[in-house]
């Protein structure tokens, strides 16, 4: 088995030197022929180019990064390859959904001893693949998170601070959600989540009905008050969330009365009033 490790030096809380040491240990565990790339990249475009080059030379492409890194890589590679995950990002929502250990060497052992598992992805607006998307307050949280990330406050604190700011200032909009041709009206919606994974990272069990391999999209929307929203989010760290309206289908269209941002796997994508989502069954092969 030929392994290659793609490292995002800008992902998560560890610096480049720390990641280099981690990857050296991982490569040794995976075998002497393990290739390493990405440590010298400075932007997403450079990392995507490294992903394309490395994916053509290995059987298993191990991604050392978080959910945003994983999304960038799976949208960059254009040939079938198994993917392994080293959870060194901030939230690591996909790794949590797969039940992977957060310890890097134990995750490496799962990759070395694991078997391929096909999982579904979401096709957003006919172009970008993702495991988790959101239209509404989630994107506003990401927008507010950036200044806090630059202060190096750790992995979770910027999310919580940005969430507090968004809950105070977010402006709602009326939304129409069409699921497999059936329309649903949500007045003054605060969020529309379209996902394949139940957790939003940090153990937040937001959409417990979601499954990675059931061939369906899982939609959660709500227009509850901010106090109810905050309480529901806090409870979801302990017990699976039951707040909001749950829908499911293979194709989803979200139309907003005023422009919103779309986020996919923790990254801002575009602003608009109409967003289309389609399930891609078995689109990604995970080694775990």
Q: Measured between alpha carbons, how far is 182 from 139 in angstroms, rounded to an integer?
A: 25
Lowest mean pLDDT among 4-8, 82-86, 114-118, 232-236: 232-236
**Given a cut of 90, is residue 132 above it in pLDDT?**
yes
Q: Find, among 90, 195, 196, 95, the residue nearest to 146 by Cα.
A: 90
pTM of the model: 0.88
The predicted model gives 5-24 an average pLDDT of 82
Residue that wins the pLDDT comparison between 147 and 182:
182
Confidence of residue 180 (pLDDT cuts 50, 70, 90): very high
User: What pLDDT does 35 receive?
Assistant: 94
Confidence of residue 16 (pLDDT cuts 50, 70, 90): confident
Domains of the chain and any CATH numbers: 3-114 (3.40.50.10330), 128-282 (2.60.200.40)
Q: Find, among 109, 87, 106, 105, the residue nearest to 25 by Cα.
A: 105
**Given a cut of 80, is residue 182 above it in pLDDT?**
yes
Q: Find, among 86, 65, 87, 90, the residue nearest to 76 by Cα.
A: 65
CB 104 within 8 A of CB 29: no
User: What pLDDT does 161 receive?
Assistant: 80
User: What pLDDT does 148 receive?
Assistant: 67
Confidence of residue 141 (pLDDT cuts 50, 70, 90): confident
CB 136 within 8 A of CB 189: yes
- pLDDT tens string 198-248: 987 677 889 999 999 999 999 999 898 888 887 887 888 889 898 999 999
The crossing angle, in degrees rounded to 10, of helices 137-149 and 157-169 is: 130
User: What pLDDT does 280 receive?
Assistant: 97
Residue with tokens 């009365």: 257
């Amino acid at each position: 088995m030929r392994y290659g490790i793609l490292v995002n030096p800008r992902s998560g809380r560890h610096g480049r030197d720390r990641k280099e040491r981690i990857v050296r240990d991982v490569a040794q565990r995976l075998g002497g022929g393990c290739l390493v790339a990405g440590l010298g990249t400075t932007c997403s475009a450079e990392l995507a180019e490294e992903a394309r080059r490395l994916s053509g030379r290995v059987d298993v492409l191990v991604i050392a990064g978080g959910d945003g890194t994983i999304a960038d890589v799976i949208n960059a590679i254009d040939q079938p390859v198994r993917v392994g995950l080293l959870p060194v990002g901030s939230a690591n929502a996909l790794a949590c959904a797969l039940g992977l250990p957060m310890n890097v060497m134990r995750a490496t052992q799962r990759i070395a001893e694991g078997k391929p598992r096909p999982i579904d992805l979401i096709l957003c607006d006919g172009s970008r693949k993702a495991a988790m998307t959101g239209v509404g307050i989630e994107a506003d949280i990401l927008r507010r998170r950036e200044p806090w990330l630059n202060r190096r406050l750790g992995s979770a604190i910027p999310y919580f601070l940005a969430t507090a700011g968004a809950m105070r200032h977010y402006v709602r909009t009326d939304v129409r959600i069409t699921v497999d041709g059936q329309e649903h009206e949500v007045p003054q919606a605060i969020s529309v989540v379209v996902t394949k994974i139940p957790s939003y990272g940090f153990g937040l069990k937001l959409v417990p009905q979601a499954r990675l391999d059931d061939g369906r999209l899982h939609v959660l929307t709500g227009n509850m008050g901010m106090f109810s929203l905050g309480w529901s989010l806090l409870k979801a760290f302990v017990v699976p969330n039951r707040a909001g309206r749950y829908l499911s289908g293979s194709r989803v269209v979200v139309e907003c009365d005023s422009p919103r941002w779309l986020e996919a796997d923790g990254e801002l994508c575009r602003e608009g009033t109409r967003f289309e989502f389609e399930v891609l069954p078995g689109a990604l092969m995970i080694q775990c």
